[in-house]
């Protein structure tokens, strides 16, 4: 009887040690995964810019505070000033981020479409693909330009770049089609998008931008 009890106790102790070892192993795996995720996580500056880009679009420049941006980026408010001294500094970074994103998107279109017409139509498709968000908050770049332009004593933000980049890219495509009026056509294309984006947002109707995108595609086909 004694041997049986001792064996049972021994088996229980062995099971406990086994369970403990398995838990330790699982904890180590979870810690490793957490460490790896933290290493892959964007840095604080990048998170602040991403959060500011989103909040400025959704809530506007005046309603968005540095505290809002810090909270959305999961960065302590005091740390914000290590990367950006003022709100205008982070706005300038957001503008640059928009410019770089536009350049990257246009480069991707150029590399994946062989003809100027297909590239221009792909750009129009990009516009239409944002229609739901634009209906809620407006064009990210156009809204930013409009709002910042009305600020008294605003810094010399690089706002023209937000429009210059897509216009010059579209101009290159129209020129490749042999159009001598490539610049005028490029301005007309971007103006049509921005105007329909404004109406889409005003009426909260994404179909406005969808219909304009179809019209622009037919227009490009006819060139």
160, 100 Cβ separation under 8 angstroms: no
The predicted structure's pLDDT at residue 151: 79
CATH number assigned to the domain covering 43-85: 1.10.10.60
- Nearest Cα to Cα of residue 67 among 57, 52, 54, 82: 52
State mean pLDDT over 3-32: 57
pTM: 0.80
Query: Which sign does the torsion angle of CA 130, 132, 133, 137 carry?
Result: positive
Which residues, other chains included, contact 58 with Cβ-Cβ below 8 Å and sequence gap of 6+?
A: 136, 137
Q: What is the architecture of the domain spanning 94-221?
A: Orthogonal Bundle (1.10)
Residue recorded with tokens 């329909």: 196
Kindly report, residue by residue over 126-152, the tens digit of the pLDDT: 999 999 999 999 999 999 999 998 877
CA angle 195, 197, 200 (to 5 degrees): 115
Q: Rounded distance, CA 190 to CA 158, Å?
A: 18
* Confidence band, pLDDT 50/70/90 cuts, at residue 217: very high
């Amino acid at each position: 009887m004694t041997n049986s009890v001792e064996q049972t106790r021994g088996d229980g102790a062995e099971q406990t040690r086994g369970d403990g070892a398995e838990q330790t192993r699982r904890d180590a795996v979870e810690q490793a995964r957490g460490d790896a995720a933290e290493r892959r996580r964007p840095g604080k500056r990048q998170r602040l810019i991403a959060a500011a880009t989103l909040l400025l679009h959704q809530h506007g420049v005046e309603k968005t505070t540095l505290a809002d941006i810090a909270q959305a980026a999961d960065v302590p408010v005091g740390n914000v000033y290590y990367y950006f001294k003022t709100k205008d500094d982070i706005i300038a970074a957001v503008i640059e981020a928009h410019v770089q994103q536009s350049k990257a998107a246009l480069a991707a279109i150029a590399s994946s479409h062989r003809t100027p017409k297909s590239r221009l139509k792909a750009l129009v498709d990009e516009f239409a693909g944002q229609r739901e968000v634009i209906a809620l908050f407006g064009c990210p770049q156009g809204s930013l330009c409009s709002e910042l332009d009305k600020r008294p004593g605003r810094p010399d933000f690089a706002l023209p770049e937000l429009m210059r980049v897509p216009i010059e890219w579209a101009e290159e495509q129209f020129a490749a089609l042999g159009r001598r009026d490539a610049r005028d056509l490029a301005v007309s294309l971007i103006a049509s998008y921005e105007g329909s984006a404004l109406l889409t947002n005003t009426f909260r109707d994404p179909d406005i931008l969808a219909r304009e995108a179809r019209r622009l595609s037919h227009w490009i086909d006819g060139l």
